[in-house]
Structure 1
Amino acid sequence: MPLYLIIIPPILLFKIFADMSERHFQFNSFELSGWTIVSVCAVVLALVTIVLLFRYERRLVAPKVGNILIALRVTTLIFILLTFLEPVLTWSFNTEKTGRLVVAVDVSDSMNTQDRHASDLEKLQLARALKMIGNDQINDRLDRWENAYSLKQEPPWVDESETANPEKRAQLGASRKQNLEEIFAEIDKLSRKEIAQKLLLNPANPILEKLQQRGQVDLVLFAGEAVSAEKTTLETGLDQVPDQVHMGLSNLSQALKASTGSSESGASPISGYILLTDGRDNSQLNPVSTAEQLGQMQVPVYPVILGSSHQPKDISVAALDYPQTAFKDDKPLLKARIGTSGYEGQEVRVVLKQNDREVAVKNFKSQGISKLLEFELNSGTLGRQEFKVETNLLPGETRDDNNEKSFAINIVDDKSRVLLVEETARWEFRFLHNALERDKRIELQQVLFEQPYMGLLPQPFFPNQLLIKTQPDNEQLNLEEKTHPFADKDLIIIGDVSPEHLENWEHIQTFVADQGGTLVLLAGKKYLPLAHQSPILNELLPLKNLKVVDWNQGNFKVPPAERGMRLQLTPEGEAEPLFQFDVNPATNRDIWKQLPGHLWFLQGELKPGASVLAYGISPFNAPLDEEKDGVIIQRQYGSGKVIWIGIDSTWRWRYRVGDRYHHRFWGQLARWAARNKASAGNEFVKFSLSKTDIDAGEITTATARWTQEYLNRFPDVKTSVTISKASEPDKVIASFDLNRQKNQPVIHEANLPSLPAGEYQLKLITSPEVAEGKEITTPLFVHEIKTIELGNLTSNPQLLSEMAKSSGGKMLTPGTLDQLLDLLPNLSQETTSQDEISLWDHWLILTLIMGILTVEWAIRKLNGLP
């Protein structure tokens, strides 16, 4: 029998089956060319073997039996080859689901605003949308009134065709004007939240009912968070809003994430979002980005803007910026942003109070925009110090509940303990030593290995040895009896030290990783770090593949202040307090641009987890690369931080300004390194909050930092936190577990649950117990949040328009809300799904192969073949 007659039938069988059912075959192994070649070669080899066997067997049996045997064997080979090629049968099918609509109503504090300051045009349009005025007979007249208001003209109250009698025209016009003013007065009494309710439930135009006739509608209330609600909640006037909504915040992204959980669990897909909001958003998220993602899934967003776009008459404490913790006798700075609108030219009085006592007063004339004021806070008294910022209440303000805000800072009596290690008294050491030694808030210890010493004094002026007390690794020694050599230090600064004088890098590594200390590595031209071969130093460094870059030759002839490479801060650097020479960000950038440049620095490649705080700007205006040209770089290492400063000339910042910037930078760095001094705990664990004073709904993180030595002995230690009211410390109202961080196992942390306004005490609970009868607690103060949400009361049509455009929707107004039903997509959605059957490992293929081989074996045995 010809071979092609044997091979063709199985292939035709597959092809016919595929053609009959509109299904498609694909061979997965075609993507793996090497596997395909090996499979084909194996089958060809087996085929050659079968042919040779056939030539031998046809001498022993009849030709008919031989043809049957070879046909069965070749068929088996074909099935095996197809199995190697991994054929998969795929087909598509359509399913139809009815989509859902999410109607989200903004219930944040700004939605309680009554827009009495709205223009007459806005009020007329809103009255028509709420069906308070208008019908088919007078709509044309109302259109003319709107046109007149848009041109800032008096509306034509009476049409010429109505009456020619001047007296009747005057009476009719006065009556209509009075009637409209009464309607405007009713509009002035409505808050934005009440307007949203009336738009949805108005019997004359029940939008919500019409939407429900189109399909399933999910009602959502949102502010800082979003919760599901029922129609009855709307009907009660939205007076009872759940606490978890956090009305003091506005987060439009939460509204766009509402109801997605049920969609993922198999419910009908979401076909669109309808937001009734004023567009205010004070979250850290980007709602436009969220809307764009919905647009990619063909889920449009239709915002309905509520509220006037005109600035209301209002004075508010818009925002406060202040340090959470400050050292005693420092000068912590409060930056208060005062919102002023509608009172141009009027005097605004701002008072800073401490314990209800006036400590500072500032007056300014309003220019209709916000004003940034600065106050130095009193830090002479230890402990928690409470303050309040108040503004005077001016006549006609839209709201009178956003004119004050309270806050507090924690004043601690402590010093930053700094160790400065250098090889020789190079310029960087001399000026750095002077800067740190003069600072009363710094306790400085110096080590200078190489210094002139004539033997006239009993010892050199500076210590010339780094004395490290070591203890034997005694398992019987209690943890509390063990001390680390740098346990009393907050900051270690290592300059250009030779490898011979600094070999104990493991102690420095412990200081950073386990004790949470800060290590500053100052680049040196002789030794550090290029001359060192320490693997620990290489691990601590935030960069690798270092090389020298010299700017000294290119512009040596220019004045000293203009030589070399200047530094520019990254956004991360601008946010760090150690780089702030002025409270105004723009002024601070200008100061850094004007600081003298540097003629030499070490350039390297950034390691994962490291971030550039300041990078160099080439004196030749070469293209900038923040990562490549990073000069000041930080990296979290265990519980602490490593800061790399790739220059040896910060002393040049003193040129013609003396101590102003050089001393301030290093003093701020020393305080920054001691930022955890206020943390509760002991030598084994430190317990702290990222913020001890927060607004209701704001997120803060609880962190427990363990020493590596303790974790080595108790690797399965468990940590949790209990929350009690300060007035009832024995009554636990909430608790939560701290989670071990994968990248930093010495840190256990978690976000606190949402808490209402009040004063709380947080207690660290450990298993096994580590406090030994001494509770590890820290306070938490939660304030009522008003001014962040109420700092700006205007509606934000620009943001809502961008959200609508990004998602493929459209921004609507109350007057154009009727267009919604025409704009909504068809809620009946047809989705295409794909299914497949893997044929190569299907049980039927295995059965066919085994069946063919069984028949071949039986024929051989019946004909006397081996």
Structure 2
Amino acid sequence: MEVLGVAAFIKLGLSIQGSWLLLILCLLGAVGVAFYAYRYTIPPVTKSLRRALMALRAAALVLLVLLLFQPILSITRSYFQKPTIAVLVDNSASMTIRDNQHTRAEIVLSLLQHPAFEHLQKFNNLRFFTFADHLYSLKKIHPDSLQFNFEGTDIYSALVEAKQKLLNEYLAGVVLLTDGIYNVGENPLFLAQSYGLPIFIVGIGDPQEKKDVLIARVLTNEVVYAQNKVPVEVVISSYGYDGMKIPLSLKYHNQVVDSKLITLVGNYQEQKVRLTFVPQQEGFQKYVLEIPKLKGEFTTLNNKHSFFVKVLKSKIRVLLLAGAPSADLKFIKRILEDDKDIELTVRTQKKGGGFYERNIEDNWTGKDYEVIFFLGFPRWPVDKITRDFLTKQLLKKNKPVFFLQGPNLNIEELKNFQDALPFTIGTAPGKPREVSLQPTVQGEQFPLIRLQDDFAGSLALWKVLPPVSTFLRNFNPRPESQVLVVMDPKRSKLPNTDSFRKPLILARTLGEHKELALLFYNVWRWDLMMWGVNKTNEALVKFLNRSIRWLTTPEEIKLVKIQTDKLIYRNGEVVHFLGQVYTPDYQPLDNAEVAVTIHTEDRKRITLPFSHVGNGKYQAEYRIAQAGDYRFEGQAFLDGQVIGSDQGRFSAGEFHIEFVSTRMREGLLQKMAQVSGGKYYTPAQIEKMANELHFPPQRLQQTREINLWNKWLVLLLFIGLLVVEWSIRRRKGML
């Protein structure tokens, strides 16, 4: 911690237990006792020796009295602390844009070498940071520490993280050097209003619109099926080319598979275009969207967008068995039917036997299905044909099962299939309860529970989901089942104890066989009621679609598992690797060494060590430097011996998010500075900014308290005084 000068002053204080008046009287009494004891001595001694002995006795008694009153010495030191200024420098790829004669990066580097920052350093502690999609601390800004090649700019998070990192310093303000183009995270203007610190912003770049045509966004499925037409929604934006007609092409292996001629509307208005393609074979496939380079166009880096899809060989056949017509059936059926990759067969029980769909003349029990979905099934007794069919599918062929509880389950009938479920069936249900859900620590990392790519956003989405209905029945997870979601007692208005954190979502994997159970119903609320609070049915749609795909994806049992958090990334994004290592009896192994080697398309090899995070889990990160298809191979070692290995692939699309918007956001930056209490400057005003940034030093006090009464030194001094007095008296033969 740096200070200006030395301590302003030091103040000493003494406090006691009891009354000061009583202490003074006791001290006078102690001195009086010593004086009285040495008025006369036997035998008589010299006057000087008598006074010395009187002083030793008085000192010992005074010290004893002080100890009885438990004195505490306080030392207060006052000093002045320099103010700290956080300097945040935009290190994203948009800083490479050339507005006129210089790139924005060149302007930033020249500003950081300006004497203005030396002037600020004299009176303030400057803390330098660079930021793009994350914040990075630097001891000192050097040209080599700025690459200006990061994809994604999150100004909001950069300001939040800078404040947190300097929590123990006297942070007086923030200097922000940026073009204001944020494309990740929240609007930083909202934060500036409540930031609590002035933000002084130097706007880098030209605020004028540039002539440009760009592919702004692309939306398509990450997982598709061979021989099926796949739509690709493309959003085109342009400025300065109003009325011009240009082709938009979709290519595979440099061959055009679809194209359309579009008429540009300009003024950066978005135009939606739909193209399609039909993948012919399974595997990872790369497609490229292109628009031609136009005369006078500001940049062509945003004229191309590549994406990857994982192609599977056929549709997923799902048999949905419902115990009765219900709102859950209606909404789930609609969502699964809307998924073009799912071939859905529905059978709904009716009282007295049979199914409502009996008029459909097909041999549905003679077909083979990839997922059996129990939706409140069974409610009524199951006929022999259906029971034999399900026994064969679930217990002999080990087909994946998706179980969703209903309000009127026939427990005895369900017990016929409980060996195919991730729970055991206990006592009969009581009354239904409305409960809210909370992912477990284990569930937070599970792919089905990650409803959004952003970890925090996924957890926030679970918190806003409407409550569901469940019975506090004794459905017990099997030992090998994973508890992904439990009741949240606090939000469910139940006693906040572990006994009420009942499991609500279970998953079990046995070899290549998988099971999933939702021990609640009324999931239709996650659709209909979400629209009523200005949200969408995104959570229910994603959960159902991902659940079906997870159930049908075989999972090999390995001692070492290494996977990425996603399959497809954008250029510049961070890939999060997660490793899991087990002993031969499948217990988590915590002392292994794990590393992964990444192979790029241009035959480069990057080796990353993993860090241990506990419970047999390891993690590593890799920032994608270029678009392309990547493969990785990982190994785990124990005492120099290979335990096991794993491999996989991921892809990065050719898309530069930093060039979707190219003009400097001057209006946004001016408002941010204004509402935070700071000021906006142009690069030419950097010296003016340095002269106007004045923050007074902060006066701080540090107080130290010393308990004098329980110190060994004080006790030794007391004993020493008595010993010296006794020694003198003995030598003189005094009584």
Length-normalised TM-score, structure 1: 0.54
Query: Residue by residue, what CA displacement relative to the aligned partner does 1:134-183 show, whole Å, maximum 9, x if unpaired?
Result: xxxxxxxxxxxxxxxxxxxxxxxxxxxxxxxxxxxxxxxxxxxxxxxxxx
Partner in structure 2 of residue 438 of structure 1: 345
1: CA distance between counterparts of 2:10 and 2:641?
73
Displacement of 1:836 after TM fit?
0.8
Offset from partner CA, 1:693-722 (integer Å, 9 cap, x none)? 323431121123567984338565554322
How do residues 530-679 of structure 1 correspond to structure 2 at under 5 angstroms? 575=452, 601-602=469-470, 644=518, 646-647=520-521, 669=544, 671-675=546-550
User: What's the offset of the Cα at 1:248?
Assistant: 3.7
Structure 2: state its 5+ residue gaps: 1-8, 27-32, 42-52, 337-342, 347-367, 441-448, 455-464, 473-482, 495-502, 529-535
Q: Indicate conservation of the 8 Å contact 2:11/2:75, yes or no.
A: no
Measured in 1, the distance between the counterparts of 2:416 and 2:715 equals 67
Q: Deviations over 1:248-275 (max 9, x none)?
A: 4435468769999999999xx8876544
1:308-364 Cα deviation digits (max 9, x unpaired): 333322111123344443454666654433222233444454322222222333435
Question: In 2, distance between residues paired with 1:835 and 1:718?
Answer: 47
The residue aligned with 1:702 is 577
- Residue pair 2:560, 2:580 contacting (<8 A) in 1 also: yes
CA distance in 2, matches of 1:445, 1:392: 48
Structure 1 match to 2:563:
688
SS at match of 2:185: coil
Equivalent of 1:310 in 198, 208, 212: 208
How far the C-alpha of 1:737 sits from its partner, in A, is 1.3
Q: 1:710 to 1:528 in 2, by over 3 A?
A: farther
- Aligned to 1:836, which of 690, 704, 712? 704
Cα displacement string for residues 88-109 of structure 1 (whole angstroms, at most 9, x for unaligned residues): 5140321465x77776654543
Q: Deviations over 1:600-620 (max 9, x none)?
A: 94599xxx995999xxxxxxx
Q: What does residue 720 of structure 1 align with?
A: 595
CA distance in 2 between partners of 1:264 and 1:666 (Å):
41
Q: Secondary structure at the match of 1:672?
A: helix
Q: How does 1:135-154 map to 2 (within 5 A)?
A: none
Q: Contact between 1:418 and 1:491, CA under 8 Å: does it hold in 2?
A: no
Is residue 92–residue 150 contact of structure 2 (8 Å, CA) maintained in 1? yes
Q: Quote the Cα distance in structure 2 between the aligned partners of 1:70 and 1:706.
A: 74
Confirm or deny: 8 A CA contact 1:638 1:746 kept in the other structure: no
Aligned residue for 2:586, secondary structure, equals helix
Deviations 1:516-559 (A, max 9, x none): xxx9x9xxxx9557699xxxxx9x98599xxxxxxxxxxxxxxx
Out of 276, 282, 293, the residue aligned to residue 382 of structure 1 is 282
- In the TM superposition, 1:459-474 aligns within 5 A as 460=387, 463=390
Matches within 5 A, 1:215-234: 215=121, 223=132, 233=143
**CA, structure 1 residues 768+845, in 2 after alignment: closer, same or farther (shift >3 Å)?**
closer
> Conserved in 2, the CA contact under 8 Å of 1:804 and 1:811?
yes
Contact 2:10 2:75 in 1 (8 A): no
Counterpart Cα distance in 1 of 2:91 and 2:588: 52
> C-alpha separation between the residues in 2 aligned to 1:467 and 1:341?
59
Q: Is the 8 A contact 1:490 1:674 kept in 2?
A: no
SS in 1 for 2:547: helix
Verify the 8 A CA contact 1:418 1:670 in the aligned structure 2: no
CA RMSD of aligned residues (A): 6.5
1:687: Cα distance to partner? 3.2
Q: Distance in 1 between matches of 2:515 and 2:385?
A: 38
CA positional deviation for 1:825: 1.8
Is 2:622 aligned against 1:752?
yes
Amino acid at match of 2:606: I
1:161 maps to what in 2? none
SS at match of 2:680: coil
Q: 1:489 aligns with which of 400, 415, 439?
A: 400
Say whether 1:336 aligns with 2:244: no
Shift of 1:246: 2.6
| 1:397 is the counterpart of 2:297 | yes
Q: CA deviation at 1:739?
A: 2.8
- The structure richer in strand per residue is 2
2:607 is matched with which residue: 710, 734, 740?
A: 734
Q: Which one of the candidate residues 248, 257, 263 is aligned to 1:359?
A: 257
CA distance in 2, matches of 1:772, 1:198: 51
Q: Deviations over 1:399-452 (max 9, x none)?
A: 222111111111234776879798x66758987799785289843276966755
Residue number among 165, 175, 181 corresponding to 1:280 in the alignment = 181
Summarize the Cα distance change of 1:819–1:354 in structure 2 as closer, same or farther, 3 Å threshold.
same
Change in 2 beyond 3 A, CA 1:691/1:82: same
Return closer, same or farther for 1:209/1:719 CA change in 2, 3 Å cut-off: closer
Which amino acid counterpart does residue 290 of structure 2 have in structure 1? E
Equivalent residue in structure 2 for 1:109, among 93, 104, 109 = 93
For residues 382 and 506 of structure 1, the distance between their equivalents in structure 2, rounded to whole angstroms, comes to 35
Whole-angstrom distance in 2 between the partners of 1:497 and 1:706: 40
- Cα distance in structure 2, aligned partners of 1:277 and 1:703: 34
C-alpha separation in 2, matches of 1:641 and 1:680 = 12
The equivalent residue for 2:11 is: 22
Give the drift of 1:669. Answer: 1.2
Q: Is the 8 A contact 2:629 2:652 kept in 1?
A: yes
Amino acid at match of 1:804: A
Q: Are 1:212 and 2:103 matched, yes or no? A: no
Does structure 2 retain, via aligned residues, the 8 Å contact 1:417–1:489?
Answer: no
Amino acid in the other structure paired with 2:212: D
Amino acid at match of 1:22: K
Size of the aligned set, in residue pairs, is 619
Residues 144-293 of structure 1 correspond to what in structure 2 (within 5 A)?
Answer: 188-196=100-108, 208-213=114-119, 215=121, 223=132, 233=143, 245-252=148-155, 273-284=174-185
Task: Provide the C-alpha distance between the structure 2 equivalents of 1:250 and 1:715, rounded to a whole number of angstroms.
Answer: 36
Q: Distance in 2 between matches of 1:232 and 1:738?
A: 29
Distance 1:807 1:650, change over 3 A: closer
CA contact (8 A) 1:839 1:845 kept: no
1:386, CA displacement in angstroms? Answer: 0.7
Checking the alignment, whether the CA contact within 8 Å between 2:86 and 2:162 is kept in structure 1 is yes
2:586 aligned with 1:711:
yes
Per the alignment, residue 79 of structure 1 pairs with: 67
1:444 aligned partner, one-letter code: I
Tell me the amino acid that sits aligned with residue 438 of structure 1.
T
Report the 3-state secondary structure (helix = DSSP H, G, I; strand = E; otherwise coil) of the residue aligned with 1:669.
helix
Q: Deviations over 1:9-62 (max 9, x none)?
A: xxxxxxxxxxx97334578xxxxxxxx9xx99xx9xxx9xxxxxx9xxx9xxx9
Distance 2:522 2:172 in 1: 61
Distance change (3 Å), C-alpha of 1:763 and 1:319: same
Cα distance between partner residues in 2 of 1:498 and 1:319: 49
Instruction: Give the Cα separation in 1 of the matches to 2:309 and 2:167.
Output: 45
Query: Against the structure 1 CA distance between its residues 339 and 851, is the aligned structure 2 distance closer, same or farther, given a 3 Å change threshold?
Result: farther
Q: Which residue identity does 1:341 align to in structure 2?
A: Y
CA shift in 2, pair 1:429/1:733, >3 Å: closer
Say if 1:529 and 1:709 are closer, same or farther in 2 by CA, change over 3 A. Answer: farther
- Residue in structure 2 matched with residue 562 of structure 1 by the alignment: none
Give 1:503 deviation, angstroms: 7.3
Deviation for aligned residue 1:835: 3.8
Q: Distance in 2 between matches of 1:842 and 1:338?
A: 79
Deviation of 1:396 (Å): 3.0
Q: Residues 499, 218 of structure 1: CA spacing in aligned structure 2 closer, same or farther, 3 A cutoff? A: closer
Determine which of 804, 823, 829 is the counterpart of 2:692.
Answer: 823
Aligned CA distance change for structure 1 residues 80 and 284 (closer, same or farther; 3 Å): farther
